């Protein structure tokens, strides 16, 4: 039986995306699967600090090998916003409202560069490891595409003509910030077995 690994998330989109990347090598469990219903406060001032808060909370409570990611959109013209507040940028957790606020704040800006970043905090056998993925790109003026989630409909990765929301899931998973961080974590886990 493959080793169990807890992904500290309630987000079904993230879980499905990560399970597709992991394949059959691990039995991926969500917070719901281990009976953890509450939210973990993300009080850190960086992506790394927030990812660590989440993985540490689960490890401290359950003693299980686990990982958490904190990721977000960083827009240069908005001085790094929404950044660590990406999931609650508008004051709500509604992705459409958050996306619309970014578009509204970007009105009139010629400079459209942005990047997605994902930091994974893995606690494996009691030790903490960090992995980072980053994708450069730009913000478009209107949403395009129905796939993906969050800010995917307004982000075009560098070298592409499609937004993340217009890409096939396999294509997005190959180049996304989360995928790049996950690939590093997978390489590490392969070395542990």
Q: Give CA–CA dist 136/155, Å, rounded.
A: 9
Which backbone phi and psi does 110 adopt, to 5 degrees? Answer: -80, -35
Q: Which residues are catalytic?
A: 70
Sheet with 66-75: list strands edge to edge. 27-29, 4-7, 66-75, 113-124, 127-139, 155-157
Q: What is the DSSP string of the chain?
A: -PPEEEE----HHHHHHHHHHHGGGSEEE-TTTTT--SPPP---SSHHHHHHHHHHHHHHHH---EEEEEEEEEEGGGTT-BGGGGGGTTSS--HHHHHHHHHHHHTT-S--EEEEEEEEEEEETTEEEEEEEEEEEEE-SS---SSS-TTGGGEEETT-SS-GGGS-HHHHHHHSHHHHHHHHHHHHHHHH-
């Amino acid at each position: 039986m493959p080793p169990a690994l807890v992904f500290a998330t309630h987000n079904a989109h993230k879980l499905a995306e990560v399970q597709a990347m992991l394949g059959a090598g691990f039995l991926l469990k969500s917070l719901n699967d281990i009976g953890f219903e509450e939210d973990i406060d993300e009080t850190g001032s960086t992506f790394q600090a927030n990812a660590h808060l989440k993985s540490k909370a689960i490890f401290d409570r359950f003693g299980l090998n686990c990982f958490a990611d904190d990721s977000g959109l960083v827009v240069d013209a908005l001085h790094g916003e929404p950044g660590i507040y990406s999931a609650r940028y508008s004051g709500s957790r509604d992705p459409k409202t958050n996306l619309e606020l970014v578009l509204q704040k970007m009105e009139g800006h010629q400079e459209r560069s942005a990047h997605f970043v994902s930091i994974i905090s893995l606690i494996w056998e009691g030790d903490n490891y960090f992995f980072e993925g980053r994708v450069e790109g730009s913000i478009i003026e209107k949403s395009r595409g129905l796939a993906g989630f969050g800010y995917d409909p307004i982000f075009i990765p560098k070298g592409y003509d499609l937004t993340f929301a217009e890409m096939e899931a396999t294509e997005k998973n190959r180049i996304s910030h989360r995928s790049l961080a996950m690939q590093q974590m997978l390489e590490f886990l392969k070395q542990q077995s």
